[in-house]
Structure 1
Amino acid sequence: MDPLIEGLRGRLVVSCQAYPGEPMRDPRTMAQIAQAVVAGGAAAVRAQGIADVRQVVTAVDVPVIGLWKDGDDGVYITPTLEHAVAVAEAGAQIVALDGTRRPRPDGRTLAETVAGLREQADVLVMADCGSIADALAAQDAGVDILGTTLSGYSGERPKTVGPDLELVDEMVAGCTLPVMVEGRVHTPAQAAEALAHGAFSVCVGTAITHPTTITTWFADAVATARG
């Protein structure tokens, strides 16, 4: 196993992202948030967008998992080889991409995308999967680490309230690659439970780095209590 991935074993990864149009949607802000989560113990940072990846890479001394979201439907997480190469050139040590079996915009298969990326950059590859079938196909395609990121979003599995622990169990039992649990991990207890199910590492985003959503949780609770 690559030493960089080995360093994530049993550790927390934090996703530092903001959506278009939000006040925090600025690469400098995301870099500062990345520094803050590293100070709190994050073993790696996940960053979205070329400008963000460039800023975050220079701001932290932990591995950066980079991706490029282009679009909002179908395959949009680092959807093509061109996107993947750009993320690598921006400095990400791990390139995260859509690891589902859905058609990709450039017509390449996942395996062709991984092979093409490796020809142009010395990086590791994370596959964001939505099912055990995705995970097995991504493993065969030559990726280095598997994520549960797209569970509940690709149409193959229902969207669970918390992390999809059933999928975690299936991936841990059926795959030989490390499994990073990502998606709807909203509490420390859920993060710990994911590791108890055999996850290699856990990635948390919204619950740590998205204050708008966190505020709505509290505001809704207060409104309910107020009646």
Structure 2
Amino acid sequence: MLKALKGGIIVSCQAYEGEPLYGADIMARLAIAAKEGGAVGIRANSPADVRAIKQAVSLPVIGIWKAQYEGSDVYITPTMKEAAAVAEAGADIIALDATSRPRPHGEQLEEMVKRLKKEYGCLLMADVSTVEEGLQAEAIGFDMISTTLSGYTSYTHKQEGPDLKLVQELAVQLSVPVLAEGRIGTPDEAMQCVRHGAYAIVVGGAITRPEYITKKFVDALGAAVATGADDGHAVPGGHHS
């Protein structure tokens, strides 16, 4: 399964309640579209979405279940409850927050890894934000490491694009595959991740969130129009100020 992911694009098909594309049936259709476009895998949130996508496509599915718990900042598959549910829904790979932050109910990441390996025999992906977290995740048994949470923890800096430095440092220091994920918005950025050592690339919003994609176009056009107006240049279809 890992070989099937190598050098490919994994598409994250996720939508939150209240968003236009929310719903397992819609996520399944997005997964079909991603497969037709050449994706090698799908990342999905919640047992319902994992189950629907597994029925719709034959690609490997990375399953997560985002859940908020009071007193903890960990929300990507934070406890054994969510991990077990995603596994039972059919996920081929389970992704867990593998940061150094305290987990809900005092659960320990190492114990979760042991239980998931023993009870479900699935592959595990560690979503990390630093090199140290990646090294620790490999040491306790994760099968692959992803840069998902770089810039999303209080102790890491959020930059405009992907964290290429983290991708490269993890790729050099780890023996398990390193996946690049987070703020990858263009094919060129995906290629940069590969050049920095990424085993595979996970892309979400740039492919599967039309409201986000539309806003990028709208913002860019708005900025261009504003600049043109400020410079005294004509705007097509408009007038000089």
Q: In the aligned structure 2, how far is the partner of 1:196 from the partner of 1:155? A: 28
Q: Runs (4+) of structure 1 moved beyond 6 Å?
A: none
Counterpart of 1:53 in structure 2: which amino acid? V
Counterpart secondary structure, 1:106:
helix
Return the TM-score normalized by structure 2. 0.91
Which residue matches 2:50?
A: 53
The answer to whether the Cα contact below 8 Å between 1:181 and 1:201 also exists between their aligned partners in 2 is: yes
Q: In the aligned structure 2, how far is the partner of 1:169 from the partner of 1:128? A: 16
Unaligned segments of structure 1, at least 5 residues: none
> Once the 2 structures are TM-superposed, how far is the Cα of residue 221 of structure 1 from its aligned partner?
1.3
> Once the 2 structures are TM-superposed, how far is the Cα of residue 110 of structure 1 from its aligned partner?
1.3
Q: In the aligned structure 1, how far is the partner of 2:203 from the partner of 2:92? A: 19
Which residue matches 2:210?
A: 211
Q: In the aligned structure 1, how far is the partner of 2:105 from the partner of 2:81? A: 9
Which residue matches 1:74?
A: 73
Counterpart secondary structure, 2:105:
coil
Counterpart secondary structure, 1:125:
strand
Which residue matches 1:183?
A: 182
The answer to whether the Cα contact below 8 Å between 1:47 and 1:66 also exists between their aligned partners in 2 is: yes
> Once the 2 structures are TM-superposed, how far is the Cα of residue 156 of structure 1 from its aligned partner?
2.6
Counterpart of 1:5 in structure 2: which amino acid? L
Q: In the aligned structure 2, how far is the partner of 1:135 from the partner of 1:156? A: 15
Identity %: 47
Q: In the aligned structure 1, how far is the partner of 2:177 from the partner of 2:191? A: 16
> Once the 2 structures are TM-superposed, how far is the Cα of residue 31 of structure 1 from its aligned partner?
0.3
> Could you give the per-residue CA deviations for residues 85-138 of structure 1, whole angstroms, max 9, x where no partner exists?
110000000001101111111322211111011222121000000100110111
2:11 aligned residue (10, 14, 20): 14
Counterpart of 2:169 in structure 1: which amino acid? E
Q: In the aligned structure 2, how far is the partner of 1:136 from the partner of 1:101? A: 11
> Once the 2 structures are TM-superposed, how far is the Cα of residue 70 of structure 1 from its aligned partner?
0.4
Counterpart of 1:137 in structure 2: which amino acid? Q
Structure 1 segment 55-204 matched on structure 2, within 5 A: 55-71=52-68, 74-204=73-203
Counterpart secondary structure, 1:71:
coil
Unaligned segments of structure 2, at least 5 residues: 227-241
Q: State the number of aligned residues.
A: 224
Counterpart secondary structure, 2:102:
coil
Q: Does 1:36 align with 2:33?
A: yes
The answer to whether the Cα contact below 8 Å between 1:131 and 1:156 also exists between their aligned partners in 2 is: no
Q: In the aligned structure 2, how far is the partner of 1:183 from the partner of 1:120? A: 30
- Please give the root-mean-square deviation of Cα atoms over the aligned residues, in Å: 1.1
Return the TM-score normalized by structure 1. 0.96
Counterpart of 1:56 in structure 2: which amino acid? I
Say which one has the larger Rg. 2
